[in-house]
Structure 1
Amino acid sequence: MKKNVLITGGAGFIGSNLALRLIELGHKVTVLDNLSPQIHGQDPSLSPLYCSIKDKVNFIHGSVESREDWLAALVDIDTVVHLAAETGTGQSMYQIKRYSDVNIGGSAILLDLMANESHSITKMVIASSRSIYGEGKYLCSQHGIVYPNARNAKDMKAADFNVKCPICSTNVELLATDETSKIHPSSIYGVTKQVQEQMFMITGQSIGVPTVSLRFQNVYGAGQSLSNPYTGILSIFSTRIKNGNGINIFEDGLESRDFIYIDDVVESIVLSIFNDNANYQIFNVGSGVCTDVLTVAKTLKNVYQSNSEILISGNYRVGDIRHNFADLTLIKSKIGFEPKIDFATGMNMFTDWVNVQEVHTDLYEASIAEMKDKGLYK
C-alpha cells in the first residue's frame, strides 16, 4: 500500500536520504523544513541536501514552531516521521530556550493538533537519541549493574575521565545500553529528546495512533553537512583536515561512540513505518560497536593523507558523556533490523564522498569560542 509520508526536517541529512528511499519505493513524500543556515549554509539553493530532494517532494519551507505550517504540511498525510530538531549537545547547554522551543514546543503543536483536530495520520515515527541515557549502562565489580551520574568537574580537571560507580565511586566497566536502561540525560539536548519521545509515545497510545521511537546513536555518512561545527564528529574533523587545521581531541581521546551509517538508519525508519511489530515500541538504532575518538581522527588523517596535527588536549565539554553503545537485541527480534555497513566500510564511503566536495569554511574555532564564553568548555 502506497503511503503519503510527511518528513519534518526532511531536507536534513537523515531526512533527505529517507525521502529519496521512500520515493524509490513508490511512496509520496512531503517535507517540512526551515532550511537552517547552520546545516544548509546562507544560500540553501546551494545545499546538496536540499538540492537532492527539492524537485522530488512536496516541499514546504516552514517551521515546526508554526501551527499554520503544521496544518499545511499534514494535508492528506497518513505517516509522520518527525526528524526536525536542534541537535548539538554542546550548543544546547547555552541555547536552552531555543532547544526547548523547537524540540519540545514543535512536537507539542503536532500532538495537540492530532488530539483536537480531524486528521488522517495512522503512524508516527519519532527520532529520539542515545543522549537520553546519559552515561548509560555499566558494571561495577562490587555493585553489579549501575547507571552512573554525569562525571564531576573535580575528576575531569584532574584528567580522570573515567566513569564512576554512583555508589562506591570506583571505575566501572562499559556495557551495551538496552532500552530498559535508566533514562537520565546529562545535556539539555538529551532532556528535550527524552520529553519529546515521552510526549509522542503517550499521545500515540491515548489517541490510538501507532507510534515508534528510534533512539539513534551517532549517525554519519556521505552527504552529512560539512559546514555545521556543532554536530557530526566525522564531518567536523574532515573539515578541519581539509582546511589544513589541527584536530583537538577532547579528554584523553579514548572516549567512544557507536557510529551508524546513514543507509542503515534509513532502513531502520522504513522498517518502523511498514512493520506492524514496531507499533508502540522504542528501539535503539546503532551498530552495536563503539569506536574511540582518537581512532576516528587517526583514520581520517591517514585516509586524507594529511599532515594535520592531532592534539590530545585534555579539554572537555560540560554535558558530554564518556561512552555509549547500543544493545540491538530488541530491534533485531521485533522487526529484523540488522546494521549492514561496518565502520571501516562506512568510513571509506564517507571519505570518498568528502574527497570530491568543495572545501567548506572551518567554523569550529568560532563554536569553541562560544562554549568558552559560556563557561562550558574547560
Structure 2
Amino acid sequence: MSELSAHRVIVTGGAGFIGCALSERLAGAVGKWVVIDSLHPQVHEVQERPAALHEAAELVVGDVTDPAVWDAVLADVQPTVVIHLAAETGTAQSLDEATRHAHVNVVGTTVMLDALGRHGIVPERFLLSSSRAVYGEGAWEREGGEVFYPGQRSHAQFEAGQWDFAGARPLPSTAALTVPKPTSVYGATKLAQENILAAWVNARDTALTVLRLQNVYGPGQSLVNSYTGIVSLFSQLARRGESIPIYEDGAITRDFVYIDDVADAFVAALAEQPCTETGARAGVGVGAGTPTFDVGSGVGTTILQLAEAIAAYYSAPAPHITGRYRDGDVRHAECRIDATLGALEWEPRWPLDRGVAGLQEWIGSQL
C-alpha cells in the first residue's frame, strides 16, 4: 500500500462517533478525505457538521443507499481507500426495525459497490467496521470440555430467570476460531456486509480488512441515542444521583473498548500491508484471504461491575438488580485480542477505570 499522503479516502458514516475520532488521526495525513453521512437525528441531535469532525474532511450530507449521492461523489473523487462505517447499530432496535437495518447495512453496501462498478473504480483497500454481534452468543464449553454453540436464549428461558446455559461456561470469541452465528438482525446484517464485501474484493483482486469491534465507548458518543451507548446512559443516570437499573442478574458480560483505542486500531489496520492471497493470515481471520481482527480491551466486564464503577465516580446510590431482560440479548460477549496484537502495531491503552473517568469529564463538558 502506498504512502498515506497519496491516498484519496472515502469514509461512509464518517461524521459519527468513530468517524470523527478517526478523522482527527488521518484527515490531515491523507491526500483527500471525503465523508458521506446522512446526519441521522437518532445520532445527531442537530443536523449540522459535527465540531469533532476534522476540518480537512470534506462532508457530503447524503444517504449511502442513494445511488445519486454516490454518483455525485465518485464524479469528483476516485477513492483509493474506502472505510465503511455507515450502519444502523441498535441491536435491540433491529428486532422491531429490521427493514431499516437491512436497508442501510446491506443495501447501502451493495449500492456503494454498484456505484464503484458503474464508475470503473476499484479501490486499493476497503476497511469495514464490523461488530462482535456477528458471533451472537458465541461458543460455550461444557464441564466435560465439549465446545458447542447454544444459540439464542429463548423467551421461556428469560421468563424462568435462566440467564446462563446450565453446566457450561462462555468462551471469548476470536476471529480465527469462533464461527459467526448472529442472534440479532443487526448482527446478521453486519455479517452480510462482511460476506458481500469479501465477494466483491476477491472477484477484483483488491483487499478487504474487517475490524470486529466490541462495545465502543468514550467522548463523542451520542448522548441522545437510547439504543446504543450503555456506558453513556449509565453515566447520565449516576450524574443525576439516580441508582442505575441492572438487567438480569448483573452478570451480563461485555468487552468495553475506549474510542481512542478503536480509532488507533483503524490507523494500524490501514498502515498494514493489504493481503489479497487466498488463505493468507488464516491465523488471524476467517474467509478467503480476508484479515479479520477482533478489537476490544481483551477484558470481560460484567454490567454490574461497570455500573458500580460509574456510580462510585459520582458517589451515586448503588446500582440495583431489576431482573428485567431484553429478548435477543447476548449473555456474554468478550474477545481474545492476542492475534490482533500479533498482527497489527496496536494495543489498547485505556483500561476501564481510566476510560470511564475520561468519558465523565467529557459528559460534564457537554451537559
TM-score by length of 1: 0.87
Report deviation, 1:240: 2.5
Render the CA deviation track for 1:9-55: whole Å, top value 9, x for unaligned: 111000111111102435531110011111111x233x7xx122264
For residues 300 and 201 of structure 2, the distance between their equivalents in structure 1, rounded to whole angstroms, comes to 33
> How many matched pairs?
347
Measured after TM superposition, the shift of residue 122 of structure 1 is 1.1
Offset of 1:329 from its aligned partner?
A: 2.6
Q: List aligned pairs for 1:64-83, cutoff 5 A.
A: 64-74=64-74, 75-83=77-85
Give the residue type in structure 1 aligned to 2:326: R
Report if aligned partners of 1:115, 1:207 keep a CA contact under 8 Å in 2: no
- Distance (whole Å) between structure 2 residues aligned to residue 336 and residue 56 of structure 1: 25
2:239 paired residue number: 242
Is 1:319 aligned to residue 328 of structure 2? yes
**Quick one: distance in 1 between partners of 2:71 and 2:182?**
32
1:277 is displaced (CA, Å) by 5.2
The whole-number CA distance in structure 1 between the counterparts of 2:339 and 2:199 is: 20
1:259 to 245, 256, 259: 256
d(CA) in 2 for partners of 1:204 and 1:120?
A: 9
Q: Which residue of 2 aligns with 1:298?
A: 308
The alignment partner of 1:32 has SS state of: strand
Which residue number corresponds to residue 173 of structure 2? 177
Q: Name the residue aligned to 1:44.
A: 47
Question: Which range moved further: 70-79 or 104-113?
Answer: 70-79
Distance 2:173 2:228 in 1: 22
Does structure 1 retain, via aligned residues, the 8 Å contact 2:173–2:333?
yes
Alignment of 1:190-205 (within 5 A): 190-205=187-202
Partner in structure 2 of residue 88 of structure 1: 90
1:320 is displaced (CA, Å) by 0.7
In the TM superposition, what whole-angstrom CA distance separates every residue of 1:308-337 from its partner, at most 9, and x where no partner exists? x63311111111100111121322222233
5+ residue gaps, structure 2, are: 277-289
> Aligned ranges for residues 1-378 of structure 1 at < 5 Å?
1=3, 2=5, 3-41=7-45, 43-45=46-48, 50-53=50-53, 55-74=55-74, 75-119=77-121, 121-162=123-164, 164=165, 170-179=166-175, 180-276=177-273, 280-307=290-317, 310-358=319-367
Unmatched segments (≥5 aa) in structure 1: 165-169, 359-378
TM-score by length of 2: 0.90
Alpha-carbon deviations, 1:292-313, whole Å to 9, x = none? 1011111111112334x63311
1:245 deviation in Å? 4.3
Please state how far the C-alpha of 1:76 moved relative to its aligned partner: 2.6
Q: 2:365 is paired with a residue of what secondary structure?
A: coil
* 1:341–1:224 CA distance, 2 compared to 1 (3 A): same
CA–CA distance in structure 2, aligned partners of residues 15 and 85 of structure 1: 12
Identity of matched residues, %: 34
